[in-house]
Structure formats: structure tokens, C-alpha cells
Structure 1
Amino acid sequence: MTDSIKMPGEERREMILQTLRESEKPLTGKDLGDMANVSRQVIVGDVNLLKAVNEPIIATSQGYLYVHPLKGPAKIAKTLVCKHTPEQTEEELNILVDHGLTVKDVKVEHPVYGDLSASIMVSNRREVKAFMHQVLEAKAVYLANLSEEGIHLHTVTADTYEQINEAENALRKAGILIE
């Protein structure tokens, strides 16, 4: 954020939408704030206002993404039930992305709050490594640690059922998949 004039709210939200629609990668609140000459917190508020009017924006560990309507062949989605130690998190995610899957999210059932979910959106080892680095840097607790016995669900997508089956076999072999 510089000393120049701040962009007005409506104009700023339109800029956020346009920028996210055109971006091929997630953009952080800081990046968007720098573009509009406002703080990250102002961007967080703007994104919440945009979500409130049903703009398809999601917050991922890498930043904000605009969810475009599907183009081309539809992806196959499946929910996998997993359990592992925190130390196996990177192994689990790498198994999934190594088989061509995208890990969209993680969900747990919390004994007090009920269903909790968080976006992950990783599809290759570089993104897994960045996700793991963010967790470490933030000293964050994995959502699985908040559930009974560490059981958690991942929504994954793939181009073929074969990719999902092969990933499930690899998770099974690693003792991570619950059936």
C-alpha cells in the first residue's frame, strides 16, 4: 500500500472481480490490496461482500480464486475418507496429486461445531509443498486434529475413474484410506 489515493469501494470490488476472473492462479489479499492501495483486511471485507452476492470466490491456502464454470470435459469428483498422523499429511497429499487428482478440500466432523471444511486446492507437488510450508509457518493445526480420531474427508477430482482407483489403492497401501 502506497501513499496514493485509495480506490473507492464499488470500483475496488469490480477490480477484484475482474482480476480474479482473469487470473490463472490464486491471488493473496495482500496482492489485491497493493493493486487497490488498501490493506489486506479491506480486501477480506470486499471479498466477503462479493461472496454475499453469490460471486463464486473461494479462499484457498494460496489466495483467492474465482471459480469459473466448467469448460471442456467434466471432472469426476469423489469423497475419500482418510486417517493418518500429522506427519503423514504431506505423503497423503502427494499420493493424491501424483495420481493426477486435485485435492479440493478437507472436511471433519467437530464434536461441538459439527461439519467444518477448508479449501486446499492442490494438484501438484509444488502446491503441496507450498501448502505444507504455510501450515508450518502459521503453526496451524490440521483440521483432522480437530475431529474424533483424526478421521477426515477429502473431495478430490480427476479426469478418469482409473486415476481415482489407483490413488485409492496407493492410500490403502499406505494405511491412510478408510473403507
Structure 2
Amino acid sequence: MISEERRKNIEKTLRNNTEPVSANALARQFSVSRQVIVGDIALMRAAGVKISATPRGYVINSDFEKTENTYTVACCHDDKNMIMELYAVVDNGGTVADVTVEHPVYGQITGELRISSRYDADLFMDKIKNNAAQPLMHLTGGIHLHTIRCADDQTFVRIREALKKENIICE
């Protein structure tokens, strides 16, 4: 399969999946290395395909951004409270869409998360642990923003209260 054809098929695979697809899964599907897939994704993004990388894999930006209400919360905590923050959101009906920090050199840095369940939160925490990766909040002493998506204002109020109870929200 030639590169251009593979990229079209990668796009088709991503569009046909509602869940993220990992680079490893795409590499197996197309009988290439993970690095080839990473390169293909970069070229596809450069060509204008709206592909996002989440902790669980690649997704094509779709109606996710349009289907629910969007709210922003400022949070501050240490590593041991990270899982409590994620659980507070998902247990109360929200999705942690992303995390944003303000870097002194690069400006705003945002990482897409799309964490909508305890399962997703646990996978995210495992990925941090197993890759010895540092969360973005380490760049700012624990201060960060989250975009939260949820069905309605009442759900967001519940989430804010849960974050307050855990002493995670900055006000």
C-alpha cells in the first residue's frame, strides 16, 4: 500500500470509530511501524485533517465539541490529588476535555484528554506512571485549567462542588 492510500485509509478508520485508535493499533492494521503512523498523522494534520491525540489514541475532531455545554475551571493540586480531580468530574457526569497551562516561554499549552469515566482516568494515570511522564501542571506549580463538558448547568454545579470538597478548585 502506498503512503497516500494508507493515509486515506487511516482517515477512514478514524472517522468510522467513536473511540480513540492508538498508533500501535493503526500500525498493526496497516502493517507498518508505529513511527510510520506518527509521520502519517503529522502529514494528515498538515494537510488540514483535524486529528487530535488523546491519552487513548487518535480521534478526528467531530461533534464532541458541539454536543455538550463547555465550562472552564481553574485547579491547583499535587500529584496525589490528580486522580481525585478526575474522579470528581466523571463521577458527577462530566468529561475532562483538556488541560491547559500557561508556560512562561511557549505561552498557553493545551493537552487533549477526553476523560469521561473512571476507566479513562485510570488509563491516563497508568500512562503517566508507565511512561515516567510529567503532567503539564508540573510546569506551573500545580496550577492549570480544565475544559469540562457536561449536559447542563446543574451538572457543572455538582462538579464544582465536588472539586471544592477535595480542595482542588482555585477561586
**Coarse TM-score class (shorter-chain normalised):** over 0.9
Give the structure-1-normalised TM-score: 0.91
**Which of 158, 164, 169 pairs up with 1:172?**
164
Could you tell me which amino acid in structure 2 is paired with residue 150 of structure 1? G
Aligned-partner SS, 2:105: coil
Identical aligned residues as a percent: 37
1:143 aligned onto 2:115: no
Question: How far is the alpha carbon of 1:70 from its aligned partner?
Answer: 5.5
Cα separation, 2, equivalents of 1:68 and 1:11: 22
> Unaligned 5+ residue runs, structure 2?
none
Could you tell me which amino acid in structure 2 is paired with residue 35 of structure 1? Q
Could you tell me which amino acid in structure 2 is paired with residue 33 of structure 1? A
The 1:70/1:87 distance shift into structure 2, 3 A limit, reads closer
Cα separation, 2, equivalents of 1:106 and 1:70: 16
Partner of 1:47: 41
Could you tell me which amino acid in structure 2 is paired with residue 69 of structure 1? D
Question: How far is the alpha carbon of 1:53 from its aligned partner?
Answer: 2.0
Q: Where does 1:18-37 land on structure 2 (aligned, <5 Å)?
A: 18-37=12-31
Larger radius of gyration: 1
**Runs of at least 4 residues of structure 1 off by over 6 A?**
none
Bigger drift between 167-176 and 109-118 goes to 109-118
Give the structure-2-normalised TM-score: 0.95
1:154 aligned onto 2:146: yes
Aligned-partner SS, 1:33: helix
Aligned-partner SS, 2:87: helix
Q: Where does 1:1-179 land on structure 2 (aligned, <5 Å)?
A: 7-69=1-63, 74-147=67-140, 149-179=141-171
Bigger drift between 105-114 and 79-88 goes to 105-114
The 1:70/1:61 distance shift into structure 2, 3 A limit, reads closer
